[in-house]
Each structure stands twice: as C-alpha cells, then as structure tokens.
Structure 1
Amino acid sequence: MKVKNLSEVKIEITNKGRGVFANRNFCKGEKVVIGHRVQTLPERTNHSFQIDFDLHIELDEPGRLINHSCNPNTGIQNNEFGGYNFVALIDINEGSEITWDYETTEYISIAIPECCCNAYNCRIKTLGFKFRSTQISKKYGNFIADYLKELNI
C-alpha cells in the first residue's frame, strides 16, 4: 500500500515546507493516503499525530507531510496500521495539495502558532478539539480520531 500511495501522490516544497499533492484525480470518499504508524513517541511534537489522550505517534511519508487547512480536502479515519487514513471529503483534482484539519486528531494542538492555510474560513490558529469540539464534530462527522468520538459531543 505504501508504494500505491507514493505513486498516487507526490511530495513538493511549498511556502509551508514540504507538502503532498495529488498525482491523479480522487473521488469523494476515496482513500488518498494510508498512514502507517512508524513510531510511538514519549510525548507530543510539532509533527506527531495524537491517536489517544496519552498517545502520540509518527506516521510514515507521505502521511506525515500532509499540511493543515481550516478547509481541508481530506478527513481522517483510524486504520488497521495504527495510523490514519486520509479520505477525500470532496473530489480532489490532480495537482491539488492534500490537506487535513489538525483539530480532528489533536485534543490540544501545538503544531502551528499561526495558520497560513489561506482558506476563506481560516481560524488563524489551531487550538485543538478540546476548544472547538462541537464545531469540529458537526463539520467532520465520522472523520475525526476515534478517541475523540468517545467524548460524545
């Protein structure tokens, strides 16, 4: 599956650092990237993914390089590899940057002090699910981390 991901997306340099871009069109509901857990971390980092209240992981590439957007084109789902699948929330055109919302996995986010996604609905800073639980749950439905769904918001 890793080879499939790398042939269907490409990594490019952006004004935010490295990012992931579609190498083909993706339909809404299609898995765009399958993120495999490569390491369990002793604490959160700017590049970690929160998988439970006290568990942070590192994903393999390209998953770990997908940038944040307040208006993303993918949502996340826990997967059988101990990581997250990035699933198209809308049809994604070839050449588009693949993005996800950090607040769908991070209970408290430390990743970006100031957002630079330039989305029409940019929140300026990612705070975390704790501070926007109702808004995030309503917007993404099942496309949030399983441990956050357990909060019954």
Structure 2
Amino acid sequence: MTFTLTSNDITDGGVLPDAQVQAKGDTSPHLAWSGAPEGTKSFAITCYDPDAPTGSGFWHWTVANIPADVSEIPTGGPVPAGAVEGRTDYGAPGFGGAAPPPGHGPHRYIFTVFAVDVEQLDVTPDNSGAVFGFNLFFHTLAKATITATYENKG
C-alpha cells in the first residue's frame, strides 16, 4: 500500500485557497492520510515554503507526536491531544498562512505528512522547523506531500 496525503481544501499542483493565506484566512487546511507503513507509531506534519527569500525557506507549520490511530486533521484544527505544534518562522506555534512578498513570484507550499517510527519526537512548542526536521530525519518511515502555490501580485 502506498502512503498518500489528500485534502478537502488544497490540491496538489493547484493554487492555495484564500483560507490558507495569512491576510485572507490564516486557517490550517484539512489533511487526511492513508497507507502508513508497518511500524508507524506516530505522525508529523510540516508546511514549508522553499521559495521564501531567506536563504533557508520558511516554516509555516510543524506538528509532531500525532497518535498513530489518527489519520486526519480537520480544517482549522485542532490538532489531536498529545500532539506538539512547533514555532513557525512567524515566531509562534500553530499554523501561519502564506504571505510571500509582493511581486516575488509564485511560492510553493509543501504540506508533508510523515509516518514516524517512535511515539514521541523530542520536540517542544519552542522548537523551530529545523529542529523538527532534524528529528524527523532520523525517524521517518515514509512521507507523502501535497504542493500548492500562491503568489502575492501586490
């Protein structure tokens, strides 16, 4: 079985809806996944913009320690009990919507769900996307993505 990610709100290859844009809705999208590999003990979610003019991209959402019996996050959350939302590059935990600089061109927003081989990653709400990513590097069994774009034409 293939590990897959789907959404009622965002489409792979599509344009990010206004609800997921910071100035227009700032709402986390619905995400659902299936086909997790054997040995999955938890899940994690990230949303990352590799096109941000920072030299290191921009983390819009990090969530870890989602229990293995959960396979869906509703639009706007909440994340399940026990899950940890990390600090985005906006400076606070939780989802932060798209906000590329005006006229910078289209940015990619990569939503990824990770099947993780431990129940708990050693992360806190104060940790950055880089810390979440470092921990995920050592514990990812599989991942599935949806990539949408958004452009602020100013």
Q: Same fold (TM over 0.5)?
A: no
Q: Larger helix proportion, structure 1 or 2?
A: 1
Q: Flag the structure with more relative contact order, 1 or 2, with Cα contacts below 8 A and sequence separation at least 6.
A: 2
Structure 2-normalised TM-score?
0.30
Structure 1-normalised TM-score?
0.30
